[in-house]
Amino acid sequence: MDSQPRIALLIDAENVNRANVEQVLVDLRKLGDASIKRAYGNWFDARLKRWESVLRSEAIRPVQQFNYTKGKNATDMALVIDAITLLHTDRPDAFAIVSSDADFTPLVTHLRERGLPVYGFGRADTPQPFRSACSAFEVFDEGKPEATSPTKGNGKRAVDAALRQRLSQAVQKAAAKDGWARIQAVRAALGPRESFSPSDFGHSSLSKLLKATDAFELRNEGSPAVQVRVKEAAAPPVRGKHAEDSAARIPRTAQRVSQSP
């Protein structure tokens, strides 16, 4: 009896929901034997705590990666290094990469050029370049997101002031000097997928959720280069001590004119 193809399964745990891992493993069993299973993330982060049961039950090896720069994670680099190492050492017959991050596109292309099939798994908002680079790409079934907070009657969380504030902070954190931020950078700033999912609010992608709040401007919509920035709000009226300071800076002649009958 011929042996099954050996598959190296590499999971970007900070970019996907742990609930999707079971679907990935079921699909891979039809393709071969996922004899190498690794998940990458900063496991000291409390937001990844819920992954423990999945890692144990599915015998997935957790790979620790600290975030050396605030606001950015180093998981991508660790996964890429391991993939290239495995390519030349363990020599699996195929790779499976679980992520919705288009930054993995060059890695997939590199592996494909060396004759290995690469199976991709990710969300519906995964950029097209990553999808196209894979031998096959499977979109997660996110019809039943995990409930992690109070919801509306239809099972989706409400879009409220707290959500807008969280999104605004993420956009500002990821923004360049001109105020525009890449959608993938905003995604990373929001934290692991399981701590924040657009589907919890009834939207299939982060860009659609941002647009629905009516608090952000988007450009290059519908492309991997989509960017977002916080809409400019009217400056609040000057009150209190600041008002007195402003009046003190007005030339005296102007003050006399304004006070004349």
pLDDT confidence band for 68 (50 / 70 / 90) = low
Out of 10-19, 167-176, 187-196, 237-246, which region has the weakest mean confidence (pLDDT)?
237-246
Question: With pLDDT > 70 as the criterion, what percentage of the chain qualifies?
Answer: 75
Q: Quote the pLDDT of residue 148.
A: 35
Q: Does residue 91 surpass a pLDDT of 50?
A: yes
pLDDT tens-digit series, residues 202-257: 777 888 889 888 899 999 887 778 899 998 753 344 444 444 444 444 344 444 44
What does the block give as tokens for 160? Answer: 């409220």
Asked whether the whole model's pTM tops 0.95, one would answer no
Query: Under a CB-based contact definition with an 8 Å cutoff, are residues 226 and 219 in contact?
Result: yes
Q: Does residue 84 surpass a pLDDT of 70?
A: yes
Q: What are the structural domains, with CATH classification, of the chain? A: 6-139 (3.40.50.1010), 161-230 (3.30.420.610)
pLDDT confidence band for 69 (50 / 70 / 90) = low
- CA gap 58, 79 in Å, rounded: 19
At 39 the three-state DSSP class reads strand
pLDDT tens-digit series, residues 134-180: 999 998 865 433 433 334 444 455 667 778 888 999 999 999 999 99
User: What's the whole-number mean pLDDT along residues 94-103?
Assistant: 92
What does the block give as tokens for 22? Answer: 């079971």
Torsion sign, CA atoms 249, 251, 255, 256: positive
Q: Quote the pLDDT of residue 34.
A: 94
Q: Does residue 50 surpass a pLDDT of 80?
A: yes
Query: Under a CB-based contact definition with an 8 Å cutoff, are residues 75 and 48 in contact?
Result: no
Strand 61-64 and strand 181-182: the pairing is unpaired
At 99 the three-state DSSP class reads coil
Q: Quote the pLDDT of residue 45.
A: 80
- Looking at beta carbons, which pairs linking 76-82 to residues 24 or more positions away fall under 8 Å? 76/12, 76/101, 76/103, 76/104, 78/40, 79/10, 79/12, 79/40, 79/104, 79/107, 80/104, 80/107, 82/10, 82/38, 82/40
pLDDT tens-digit series, residues 109-125: 999 999 999 999 998 88
Q: Quote the pLDDT of residue 159.
A: 65
Mean pLDDT, rounded, of the chain: 79
What does the block give as tokens for 183? Answer: 């959608």
At 177 the three-state DSSP class reads coil
User: What's the whole-number mean pLDDT along residues 180-209?
Assistant: 79
Query: Which among 13, 15, 48, 22 is positioned nearest to 144, based on CA atoms?
Result: 22
Phi/psi at 51 (nearest 5 deg)?
-75, -20
More confident site: 178 or 76: 178
